[in-house]
Amino acid sequence: MTSDTPFQREYADHLISEILGGRMTRRQLLVRASVVGLSATLVGQVLAACGSSSPSSTTSPSTAPKAGGTLKVTMPSPTVTVDPTTMYDTGSIAIAQQVAEYLIWVNNDLSLRPVLAKSWSPNSDATVWTFNLQQGVKFQDGKPFSADDVVFTMNILLNPKTVSAALASFQGILSQGGVQKVDANTVAFHLDTPFADFPYFVASTNYDCLILPTTYKAGTWQSKPVGTGPFKMTKFTPKQGATFVKNPTYWQTGKPYLDGVNVQFIDETQAEALALQSGSSDVMLTTPVQGAQALFTDANLKVLTTPSTQSRFLHMRVDTAPFTNKAVRQALAYTIDRPAVIANLFNGKAQIGNDNVFCPLYPLAPTTIPQRAQDIAKAKQLLASAGFPNGVTMNLTVEEFEEVPQYATLLQAMAKPAGINLKLNQVTVTYYYGSGKNQPWLQVPMGITDWTFRGVPSQYFLPAFTSNGVWNSSHFKNPAFDAAAKGYDTTLDEAKRRQYAATMAGILTDETPSIISYWINVNRAMKKNVNGLTSDPAEFLDLTTTYLS
Amino acid sequence: MGRLIVRRLLLIIPSLLLLSAVVFLMLGVVPGDPGRVKLGPYAPASAVAQYDHSIGYDRPILVRYGTWLGGFVTLHWGTSWNLNVPVFSLTMQRLWNSIQLALVALLIVVPLAIVLGVIAALRRDGAADRVITVSSLSLTVVPEFVSGVVITVLFVVFLKVFHYPPIPPPGADPFTRIYYLLLPAIPLMFVEIGYIARMARAGMIEALSMPYIRTATLSGLPRRRVVFGHALRNAMAPTVAVIGTQIGWLVGGLVIVETLFVYPGIGYLIYQSAIYKDFPVLEATVIVVAVIYMLSNLSADVIVALLNPRVRFGR
């Protein structure tokens, strides 16, 4: 990494005071240091100042990786044509990630790993972020990688005509024209507003940000795949599979270890599990507990598990009876036996939720808010105080998605003793999301919505809980919350951000516009001879260091 | 005979028109729209509307039907909304996969079932007849999704003798292909074996009771020659009719089996295009399957006619 800016050195001092004051753990420090782009030397100095050893290198395998071999992977088929600038489904993303790369990869603990960006740093108020790029990198078509490609790719994503999933993340933070080339290997992002967590928005968590060459023609990726990545895609058959071979000119010397990757698209969980059990595949991209239970006890396989920020939010419209009274919303939250829900739905493989968006995986998640537990007496008392001493009936809209229907049935049974009669209305996913003027998930008084992985809490609270959030299905409006959200996003001061986080989490848990009972772990089942591959909280696939033994 | 075929062929046209209209109408009624599927749940509503406009989904349903019909009859089947590949080649490729699976099942089950049916007829009411009739009928009444699951668990998970999913690797030789296809073919054979064996048995029993068989036997012809030379040919008419009606189902109606085995046939394509509201593909696949049903029924009738002189020559 390059030398640190004065701001970064000042930030390092600030981190030292945070950790010495006991307000930050060592792991959280490493995550935060990676976001602001501190060099390894500086992080070492910080840790030394705190009396801790320097960060240990990431899990290095005990045996040397063996080169060669072809890995067989099953995954859900891309629902639409694969195009990195517009893709949104798990299959498309995992395919594109083999061929093209991000500036930054987000590790499982949410720390940042430089890929095409060598280093990055903010100015003092976090409105301009400068990225230094790797040199000597070539695209698979032979074109050298430079700052122009980054500007080109970002401008595609920022163009509303592209309809990129990334645009929603950039809204209000980065606009067209904000990405500027400084020199051949340096790019500056001029933001619309100060933003402390900005690197996550150009990293793998904003999955459409794969860097494409300036020669790229929109919509041609599936037939002419291009990128700087470890594998070349040699064949793609819709709904069936894809074939990859090692990129011989890959810029990370010696990698990847595999000669190739064969992907088979399978859309049913049970069928994917069978393919792995029968030996037709080596890795199942994502292994939900529901539908693949047999894999977790199969002696020939290993299942890796990693905590994620995926969740299901049960929203209650605060502007619609009976949810206008927060006691009613709290009452339902108190009927839930969360450990039982987790045991039933995920065989224990999930983290407990506390009705706020600060998943324990987020480095600044407050630990001061008491965990909500089942308390039927309290729920009854809250209902009585809200004017429902004889119970209340609620209509819950449930999408047919993974474990959501089972979750709703559990909630129904748990709410009954408190006098809450949950009526379930089960609908298909397409119906639940709808389109145009008819988007039931934003309109029904009460519904359960699936939320995929988010790298930073802002990606949850901005759209779902701020007054003008586009996906605010609970219609929650709270000026104090909005102010804290703004403060959290725009300051680089860790102590203040921690306070803002505590404020927001406190408001959400107390007001309970949504019930968040659990944060799902992501599992990945594979054969025992597959090494150097982890599960991924966002179900992404990085095979750069994978090898077969 | 010729007039019969022409009349039947002409009847297919209004049937297909009606079918295509019904499918079109049903797709207009079910919720969700293609732009939402294409762009994902988080795309802004304006972008969804824009996409729907770009594929003409926002026009009145009659206009859309007219446009589609005009393209379809001139073999311009359009492009899949979700997969961006030509519908015609996609449908034909999947159809060929389904035909291969059906062939493997038929080539094994038809001779087997006929032999069993003939044995049962010759040993009428004996132990062999009972065993054959009861067991083949039992296999037939087990739904294919039940037998498919049991067979998969047994042969794939425990015995590990078959590959799952049963999709032959590209460029595999014919024997490897057949080996892969055996797994999904077994549940199909189960369904078919009862029908065909029963028909073969009934036809044989009827044929054996005919006066000309008695004549042949009494004139001293060997038993084998009587059975295979005289009775079998006449006994086959109802069996052929049954096989003919089953071909349509075997080629185009395997939504359940193909989905269970994630086999890329036309049945699975129908299922997937319905899920993803890929209208051009759904409409094309449904029509193709309907054509196969009708043609296989027609050809069964023609073969029955050819086997039976009364139908062949008389009216």
pLDDT of A59 > 60? The answer is: no
pLDDT of A16 > 80? The answer is: no
Euclidean distance between CA atoms A131 and A120, whole angstroms:
4
What does the pLDDT average to over A235-256? 93
Cβ distance A238 to B264 less than 8 Å, yes or no, reads no
What does the pLDDT average to over A327-350? 95
Query: Each residue of B205-248: pLDDT tens digit?
Result: 988 888 888 888 888 888 888 888 888 888 888 888 888 888 88
Cβ distance B164 to A89 less than 8 Å, yes or no, reads no
Euclidean distance between CA atoms A301 and A276, whole angstroms:
9
- Beta-bridged to residue A220, according to DSSP, are none
Phi, psi torsion values for B80, nearest 5 degrees: -60, 135
Confirm whether pTM is higher than 0.95: no
What is the torsional sign of CA A252, A258, A260, A261? negative
Helices (H), A297-397: 326-334, 338-346, 376-385
Q: What is the mean pLDDT of chain A?
A: 91
Nearest to A271 among B36, B82, B262 (CB): B262
Q: What percent of chain B has pLDDT over 70?
A: 96
ipTM above 0.85, yes or no: no
| Residue of higher predicted confidence among A55 and A491 | A491
- Cβ burial of A530 (10 Å; 0-12, 13-18, 19+) is buried
pLDDT of A58 > 50? The answer is: no
Cβ atoms A544, A361 nearer than 8 A: no
Residue of B nearest to A160 (CA): B47
Q: What percent of chain A has pLDDT over 90?
A: 72
SS3 content of chain A, % helix, strand, coil (to 5): 30, 20, 45
H helix or E strand, kind and range, residue A548? strand A547-548
Q: Which residues of B57-84 are buried (b: 16+ CB within 10 A; e: fewer)?
A: beeeeeebbeebeeebeeeebbebbbbe
pLDDT of A407 > 80? The answer is: yes
Cβ atoms A79, A89 nearer than 8 A: yes
Cβ atoms B198, B137 nearer than 8 A: yes
Nearest to A239 among B32, B156, B272 (CB): B272
Phi, psi torsion values for A75, nearest 5 degrees: -155, 165
B48 in contact with chain A, both atoms CB, cutoff 8 A: yes
The first and second tokens of residue B20, run together, are: 């295509």
Q: Which pLDDT value is given to residue A51?
A: 61
Query: Each residue of A151-209: pLDDT tens digit?
Result: 999 999 999 888 888 888 898 899 999 999 999 999 999 999 999 999 999 999 999 99
Residues of A in contact with B39 (CB under 8 A): 86, 88, 163
Å from A144 to nearest chain B CA? 30
**Whose CA is closest to A112, among A541, A406, A382, A456?**
A456
For A354, A357, A392, the CA distances from A325, given in Å and listed in that order, are 19, 21, 13
**Whose CA is closest to A196, among A224, A179, A173?**
A173
Residues whose CB falls within 8 Å of the CB of residue B86, separated by 6 or more in sequence, listed in order:
B77, B78, B79, B80
What does the pLDDT average to over A507-512? 97
Residue of A nearest to B271 (CA): A267
**Whose CA is closest to A62, among A529, A526, A532?**
A532
**Whose CA is closest to B120, among B106, B139, B141, B136?**
B136
Q: What's chain A's Rg over C-alpha atoms?
A: 24
The first and second tokens of residue A171, run together, are: 């809204």
The first and second tokens of residue A435, run together, are: 């389109």
What does the pLDDT average to over A510-517? 97
Residues whose CB falls within 8 Å of the CB of residue B127, separated by 6 or more in sequence, listed in order:
none
Euclidean distance between CA atoms A25 and A470, whole angstroms:
34
Residues of B in contact with A439 (CB under 8 A): 45
Residues of A in contact with B36 (CB under 8 A): 430, 433-435
Three-class DSSP category at A24: coil
Local confidence band at B50 (pLDDT 50, 70, 90 cut-offs): confident
Local confidence band at B78 (pLDDT 50, 70, 90 cut-offs): confident
Cβ atoms A547, A532 nearer than 8 A: yes
In chain B, the largest separation of any two C-alpha atoms, in whole Å, equals 86
The first and second tokens of residue A317, run together, are: 């419209």
Local confidence band at A33 (pLDDT 50, 70, 90 cut-offs): confident
Q: Which pLDDT value is given to residue B32?
A: 67
Euclidean distance between CA atoms B13 and B257, whole angstroms:
29
Euclidean distance between CA atoms B156 and A274, whole angstroms:
8
pLDDT of A44 > 90? The answer is: no
pLDDT of A60 > 60? The answer is: no
Q: What is the mean pLDDT of chain B?
A: 86
B36 in contact with chain A, both atoms CB, cutoff 8 A: yes
Q: Which pLDDT value is given to residue B37?
A: 74
